Amino acid sequence: MRQRKIPMRKCVASNEMKPKKEMVRVVRDKEGTVSIDPTGKKNGRGAYISLDPELVKKAQQKQVLNQALNTKVDEAFYEELQEYVEYQKARMELKNG
């Protein structure tokens, strides 16, 4: 059986290439609204960040998403992203056991 290609994406915080499943997509739509995109299919400019709470903190300190999405990202959004990443990381650890 042929092995399927794993889609890779670059993390905006660490600049590392990782499998898409190990990352979360943040998207800015036409109206300028920044949101978490769990499906990875929303329209708009997207940026990927690893499922690592430390990298989310680093991204917040350096304001990397502002540059990646060409907009001002609110501090409250970083808190929402932090909670989402911690939740998803815990889910992955439970699943991989």
- Strand, coil or helix: 85: helix
- What does the alpha-carbon distance between residue 4 and residue 48 come to, in Å, rounded to a whole number? 21
pLDDT in tens, 30-83: 999 999 999 999 999 999 999 999 999 999 999 999 999 999 999 999 999 999
Q: Who wins on pLDDT, 81 or 94?
A: 81
Q: Which domains does the chain have, with CATH numbers?
A: 8-96 (3.30.1230.10)
- What does the alpha-carbon distance between residue 11 and residue 26 come to, in Å, rounded to a whole number? 11
Provide the residue type at 49 as one letter: I
